[in-house]
Structure 1
Amino acid sequence: MEYTEGTADRTAEIAALVRAAFTDSEGAAEGAAVGDLARDLMETTPPGDICVFLAETEARVAGAAIFTRLACADPDRRVMLLSPMAVATGLQGQGVGQGLLRHALDALRAAGVEVAVTYGDPAFYARLGFAPVAPEVVPPPRPLTQPEGWLARPLGAPAIAPLPGPCRTVPALDAPAFW
């Protein structure tokens, strides 16, 4: 498995992977919504506010992790939000997602990102050092329907210094349906 950064004009392939993986696990409606989100993020987010990491095998995308800026009231704080992330259904459970996230987190740390945040499955993300985070420490940009899924991981310091709120996402993620 090779891990890379950037979309390299593969937006349609990445969005199709995300759509298929979420369709297989969550149903067609969720697959369509998250696949469209992935495409919208890659097409509308300014380059300085997005990092796309890929797991590739035999020149095809096997996994994707899309990080976008989570901005807070202090413009010097560098925080990135992972959403969405997907691995091809036939490759799940083989360490592809964990390897992809390790690669992504190392690259983000090297780029000076202070905190990685996600809104997802606590059991999966805990394997990579993510832990539940209080809204007083990392204010979510919208009310959360599943607060137990609000997770963060410090990338430099041993703990996360509270972010001054409010926090906001990139426009493509700023919809109540995703929260």
Structure 2
Amino acid sequence: MNYQSLDKSKKEEVAYLFTSVFTSSESEKEGVLVGGLSSELASNIDNKETICFGACENGSLIGAIFFTRLKFNDPIQVYMLAPVAVSTEYQGRGIGQKLINYGLNELRNRSVSIVVTYGDPSFYSKIGFQSLSEDLIQAPLKLSMPIGWLGQTLTGEPIPSIKERPVCVKEFNNPVYW
């Protein structure tokens, strides 16, 4: 298994991966929605605001994850992990957790302080994410399920309270994702 940074040239592979995984696990509607989001994100990979990492085996992309910057007036570096997908036939082997940990280590090396995500607490708690109150860090838009707002520090320091709503990348600036 090879974990690596991906660039815009992988847009089609990334979109296909997310579309097929979310269609299989959720529904065709969800597959189209998340596949479209991943295609837009992949079109804007710049390794600053939008970062993508992939898991490859035998030259094929079998997993991918995005991290996008959340901007605050405070100079703290906060990224959001979303979405993540592992090819259906490779699920259950810990590849998703290894890919997330790879990405978190890469962000730690870039001096990122905090990573947040909006997802299943039972999955993300396995890799160090904890429930995050919006009193501490707000989501970019109103959350439909606040229990899914999670975060983790990459510095070992407690997560500080940031009293403002962040600005997210334009691809996530849509209430359908929240």
TM tier, smaller: over 0.9
Matched, 1:160 2:159: yes
How many residues get paired?
A: 178
| Structure 1 residue identity aligned to 2:48 | G
Partner in structure 2 of residue 3 of structure 1 = 3
* Identity in percent: 34
Question: Equivalent residue for 2:35?
Answer: 35
TM superposition shift of 1:46 = 4.8
SS at match of 1:82: strand
Change (3 A) 1:4 1:138: same
Give SS of 2:97's match: helix
Confirm whether residue 151 of structure 1 aligns to residue 141 of structure 2.
no
1:43 is displaced (CA, Å) by: 1.4
Q: SS state of the match for residue 18, structure 1? A: helix
**In 2: Cα distance, 1:158 partner to 1:126 partner:** 18
**Which is worse superposed, 121-130 or 42-51?**
42-51
Name the structure 2 match of 1:15: 15
The residue identity in structure 1 corresponding to 2:22 is F
Q: Distance in 2 between matches of 1:157 and 1:72?
A: 20
Query: Could you tell me how far apart the structure 2 residues matched to 1:171 and 1:47 are?
Result: 16
Which amino acid is 1:7 matched to? Answer: D
* Counterpart code for 1:70: L
Aligned equivalents of 2:90, 2:45: Cα separation in 1: 28
TM, length-normalised to structure 2 = 0.96
Amino acid at match of 1:58: N
1:140 aligns with 2:139: yes
Alignment of 1:28-177 (within 5 A): 28-44=28-44, 46-74=46-74, 76-177=75-176
List runs of 5+ in structure 1 lacking aligned partners: none
Contact 1:72 1:164 in 2 (8 A): no
Gaps of 5+ in 2: none
Residue aligned with 1:162, SS: coil
* Bigger mean CA offset, 54-63 vs 1-10: 1-10
Deviations 1:34-70 (A, max 9, x none): 0100111121465420110101101011100001001
Moved over 6 A (4+): none
Deviations 1:135-168 (A, max 9, x none): 0111111111111110001000332011231212
Give yes or no for contact 2:8–2:44 (8 Å, CA) kept in 1: no
Q: Report the aligned-residue RMSD.
A: 1.2
